[in-house]
Copies of this chain bind each other. A is one copy, B any other.
């Protein structure tokens, strides 16, 4: 069998995503992942020291950290960065596999410090950085607004409402975030 280096590992990760997304991290047996990847069970443990290592790798990939980071790195600001993040987010989690994995991964935060750290970094540093980029300077209200923005995205992903399409939703959400920040009673 001719396979690229790294190819197999990636195939295992992909298979794991499918299987984890369907059964959850803990009810998914490794042998199903191997089967889905078309390799032997033993080989999974050649590439990953343990199931937990695979779980954590998959969980990390299913968090939206990279989206936020790439938008931050692109140097955007104001509504543009919200748009960047929103689009990336909605696109990533349009895939039901990723959507489910996100839910499962968030629950892992309780159990594995690696995931907890990613969530920390996402929910505290990153979110505040974005707030500053959007509203110009750090402020409590900006942080709250950003949490509303992020939460709104998550909420939409959790249950895609039938009567609101992605584009319209994102436009409104950005609108609310920005206008809410600017025109509140306590500017």
**Residues of A participating in the B interface, judged by any CB pair closer than 8 Å:** 21-24, 26-27, 100, 103-104, 106-107, 109-111, 119-120, 123-124, 127, 140-141, 143-145, 147-156, 158-159, 161, 163-164, 168-169, 171-173, 175-186
Contact = CB atoms under 8 A, between A and B. Distances in A.
Given A24-B110, A151-B148, A143 B159 contact: no
A146 to B, nearest CB: 9
Contact of A159 (B120, B173, B183): B120
Contact of A164 (B22, B119, B144, B184): B144
Enumerate the 7 nearest inter-chain pairs by beta-carbon distance, A residue then B residue, closest first: A151-B151, A180-B180, A176-B180, A148-B152, A26-B26, A123-B159, A183-B183
16 contacts: A26-B26, A103-B109, A103-B110, A123-B159, A141-B176, A144-B173, A147-B151, A148-B180, A150-B151, A151-B151, A151-B152, A151-B155, A175-B180, A175-B185, A176-B177, A179-B182
Contacts of A172: 140-141, 144-145, 184, 186
B111 A27 contact: yes
Nearest to A105: B107
Contacts of A150: 151, 155
A24 B179 contact: no
Contacts of A141: 172, 175-176
Contacts of A100: 110
B147 A155 contact: yes
Contacts of A178: 180
Contacts of A164: 140, 143-144
Nearest to A169: B144
Contact of A107 (B106, B149, B177): B106
Contacts of A168: 140
